[in-house]
Amino acid sequence: MSRIATGICAAVAIAAGSFWLSSPNASFSLIGSAEAQEAELDTSTIVEMTLGAEDAPVEIIEYASYTCPHCANFHKGPYKQLKKDFIDTGKVKFVYREVYFDRYGLWASMVARCAGPDKFFGISDLIYEGQSEWTRAGGPAEIVDELRKIGRLAGIDNDQLEACLQDGDRARTLVAWYQENAERDGIQATPSFILNGKAVENQSYDAFKKLIEDELGS
């Protein structure tokens, strides 16, 4: 079974049971029966997180998990160059779609999305920059506390953070959205990329640049 397939199973298990969040005595039930609630989940409510010109000639969709070390490496390196050379110059529309291997990645996503699209990519940068620290902070309570710190560093107040983290309906919908995306695009690993509709594996920035330039005809 691929890691994506395993992740889908894990995410469904998270959504089907008790989603333990902040302390051994604090939990909330996301869903009693995944099948019974599936029809109620409107994935169109999930905002697509994008950067760059809407009418850019090249679209790159990244599928990534906040707990994936390879994804963190991409965002600390090639992504910054990609943004400078192609996204900020209007040549590439960049779409970021979360993949949930585990509850920690889902929690990170809920924090990243908490302040809306304007702060999403900045918070994502903080999450990736601190990945080795927050993912190794200890148990679930310690990990979610570290994610809260990142949210507060980004200017989200405590009440807003807690509302985001305790939003079971949004968590369920994010999981369903993730499943739809991964299954539709045949995603098997992270990070994975779709460049103008074609699947592209994770690779060096120079290789990415060549693919983009080919699409641009330059």
Q: How far is CA 73 from CA 67, 128, 130, in A?
A: 11, 8, 12
CA dihedral 71, 170, 5, 126 (to 10 degrees): 10
d(CA 126, CA 213): 29
Whether 120 and 150 have beta carbons less than 8 Å apart is answered as no
pLDDT at 203: 83
Q: Report pLDDT for 175.
A: 93
Q: Are 143 and 165 in contact (CB under 8 A)?
A: no
What pLDDT digit, counting tens, does each position of 29-70 carry?
333 334 434 457 899 999 999 999 999 999 999 999 999 999
In this prediction, residue 218 carries a pLDDT of 65
- Strands 18-23 and 198-201, sheet pairing: unpaired
In the chain, the domains with their CATH numbers are: 3-216 (3.40.30.10)
* Positions of the chain with pLDDT lower than 70, given as ranges: 1-39, 218
Instruction: Provide the pLDDT for residue 201.
Output: 83
How far is CA 197 from its chain centroid?
A: 20
Whats the size of the chain, residue-wise?
A: 218
SS3 assignment, position 99: coil
8 A C-beta contact, residue 134 and residue 150: yes
pLDDT of residue 202: 84
